[in-house]
Structure 1
């Protein structure tokens, strides 16, 4: 792995950034936009993925970074769960649901792999 100088260079952070953009785009829909609680929660969960990766990176400790990666992974699961609610309420299409689901599952796997790499390289 190349030595990253900033969290913005991390592929997992870049993936999370794309998911946040997707979340904000899909929550603009009329029904979703009116459900302030769900809209706010899914947006905060998406942003939480990005910010936990960034905060962990800035801690400059592998142990703490891995802890924050786990928080980011948990937030990815939260986004996925909230997307199910949005789909059940017909706020989003099946196509959008599948897109968010696939991207969050992929990101979750990437975070897990990165976490595993960091833990192994720190031994």
Structure 2
């Protein structure tokens, strides 16, 4: 498989997404930094990490499995941000933006997974 994951558009977009999430969560209440913020950040970092790890595997089947894990992490971020939104930790416009980004990244991951399964 392609070991040079840094050339994959989905990996680049996942890095940009992680940066956006880090900036978004830096203003959450201090008491959430070892709770919700930590969970969100771990999940968002997991997306690019699983893409990179999958790229280093020897087969499309293995790579596809790691793309599936990355998709699960993306869903985890979405669920956690819904909680943050309900608690008014995130501005409405930032929440709407993040939902757009999640939809885009989810579509990309799904399309890439279909490509790998061919």
TM-score bracket relative to the smaller structure: over 0.9
- The residue correspondences of 1:48-87 to structure 2 (distance < 5 A) are 48-87=46-85
- Of the three residues 31, 35, 54, the one matched with 1:34 is 31
The runs of at least 4 consecutive aligned structure 1 residues that moved more than 3 Å come to none
Q: 1:60: how far off? A: 2.5
The CA RMSD over aligned residues, in Å, is 1.4
CA distance in 2, matches of 1:4, 1:92: 37
Q: Which moved more, 1:3-12 or 1:40-49?
A: 3-12
Q: Cα–Cα, structure 1 residues 30 and 117, in superposed 2: closer, same or farther, change >3 Å? A: closer
Q: 1:95: how far off? A: 0.6
Q: 1:4: how far off? A: 5.3
Task: Indicate the residue corresponding to 2:109 in structure 1.
Answer: 111
Gaps of 5+ in 1: none
Gaps of 5+ in 2: none
Task: Indicate the residue corresponding to 2:23 in structure 1.
Answer: 25
Matched positions, count? 117
TM-score (norm 1): 0.90
CA distance in 2, matches of 1:82, 1:30: 13
If asked which structure has higher relative contact order (CA below 8 Å, sep 6+), I would say: 2
Q: 1:34: how far off? A: 2.8
TM-score (norm 2): 0.93
CA distance in 2, matches of 1:85, 1:30: 12
Q: Is the 8 A contact 1:13 1:50 kept in 2?
A: yes
Question: What SS does the aligned partner of 1:92 have?
Answer: coil
CA distance in 1, matches of 2:71, 2:9: 14
